[in-house]
Structure formats: structure tokens, C-alpha cells
Amino acid sequence: MAQFTNQAQLSYNNTVVNSNIVTGEILEVLSATKTAVLSSYSTDDSITYVISAVNAGTSSVSGVSVSDDLGAYEYNGETLYPLTYTDGSARLYINGVLQAAPAVSAGPPLVFSGITIPANSNMILIYEAQTNQFSPLSATDSIVNTATISGVGIPAAITAEETVFPQNAPELTITKYIEPSVVTENGTLTYTFIIQNYGNTDAAVTDNVSVTDTFDPVLQNIAVSLNGVPLTENTQYTYNAASGVFTTLPSVITVPAATYTRDTTTGAITIDPGTATLTVTGTI
């Protein structure tokens, strides 16, 4: 809703008299909102956006086009796009009824076209976008995403904006290695667990990171270390030599946050995950 004012002037015999000021309001025929289903994202994540538009007028609005800037921002004089449209993800609903998918130009910018919103009706457009190498990941970053709606019967394009933030939490993966892969009976075997943190926050003692494994064949006389520092049984880990069940106790393993490096030429972000290395050596 937009407000306007107006005042008249009366002139006579070199005298000017101003009228009172009148105030009016223009009721917008079309209004829109944009919402992300989840407010946070992580590496190579999928974000679902919902654009809702209401036509409060007595005439249909045709030729509607929805343009999405895919979170565009400037870096070193270049425009970078931190989101990539997920092909085939668009769903269009008019008054809750699924319609044929609109025409899509993936861009950037992303454009949906050929939409008609009947009088006194609402449109819901749902689609997904994937984070990419230009998506900022530090705790203070965000992606500000703007949709612009235009069409026949819309005097001025309207916009709807949504902001999503990187997930401020550890994002851990674990990879297991065996050495040697071929071992003789009564030989020595070493399992190495590489725990990597792709998140922007340390995995701290309060996160209770723990590794559990059942060794088969069962290991005997095991030695355990974390980042090259020996761990103590029953204080930092437990092991059942009969069943082969091994578990590190909570709060023993911590993993530093990832570091993010931006290419000064392309603007692409490289992730260097924080790492913790757990090794278990024993005889079979």
C-alpha cells in the first residue's frame, strides 16, 4: 500500500492561496513474499524457495515473469552468483492447484515466465537452488536473494527478498583406512580414521564427538592415538577384546573448524577442512 498527497493553488490579483493537503492510498493489486524453507545452508546444499503472490484485483494479471537474482553480489568488479537453479524443480500452484510448469531460463538470472494469476487469486511458485563455489560460508556471511515480479497490469515491478545464513555448526565426515590390506595370521593391523570438519565452527568437547567400531577380526593388545598423542584405555576410550567393540569416550575428540580461501581472480571459495586423525593398532 502506497500513500500519496496532493495540494492545489488558487491565484487571483497577484495573490496565491494554497488549498488543504489531501492524502490518499494506492492499494497494490499484486503483493508478494519470498521464503526459504530452511534459513541456513551448508556446503553443496539445496535451498527450497517459496514465492507467494496475491492478486487482489478484479482482473487477471497475465504475462507474469518472476526473475531471481540467485543471490548475486559483487567481488573485485565481477558479479558472482552463489546459487545454481536445480533443473526441473519448479512447481507452480494457482489457488492450491498444481499447474503446468512455467517456462524456465536458468540464467543467471533465473527467470520463470508465461504465468497468469487470475483475479482474486494467489500464486505459489516453489523451486530449489544449489549452493556452489561462490557461496560464502563464514559465520558472519549470508546470501541475500531477491525475486522481481513483473507483468501486464502491474504498473511497477514488485520485489520480494529472503536472506539465508551459513549453518554455524560443525560438519563432520569420517574416512577409514586399513594398513596393510593383506596381513598374515598373528600380524599387526592399523586402522586410521580421518575425521574432517567442513563447518565454520569447531567440533568442541561439548559436541561429544565419538568413534565406535567393531573390529573383525578382533584386535588384541591395541594401541590408540589421536593426532599422534597416545590415548588411555577406560579414560579416553573403551575396548572389549572379546567382542572387538571399540569406542572413544565423549569429549575426547575435537576437530577444528574449516578455513575458507577465496581465489582473488575468480572469487571461487576453496574449503580446507579441519582434521583429526585417530589410529588404532593391534594384532589379529
List pLDDT tens digits, range 84-134.
999 999 999 999 999 999 999 998 999 999 999 999 999 999 999 999 999
- pLDDT of 185 reads 83
- Domains of the chain: which residue ranges? 30-166, 172-283
Q: What is the pTM of this model?
A: 0.81
- Sheet strand arrangement including 237-239: 212-214, 245-248, 237-239
Is residue 253 within 8 Å of residue 276, measured between CB atoms?
yes
| Residue 26: pLDDT band with limits 50, 70, 90 | low
How far is 229 from 240, CA to CA, in rounded Å? Answer: 21
How far is 175 from 108, CA to CA, in rounded Å? Answer: 36
Grid coordinates 573485485 are at which residue? 76
Whether CATH 2.60.40.740 fits 30-166: yes
| Residue 156: pLDDT band with limits 50, 70, 90 | confident
Mean pLDDT of the chain: 94
CATH fit for domain 172-283, picks 2.60.40, 2.30.29, 2.40.128, 1.10.3470? 2.60.40
- pLDDT of 30 reads 85
172-283 shares the fold of 30-166? yes
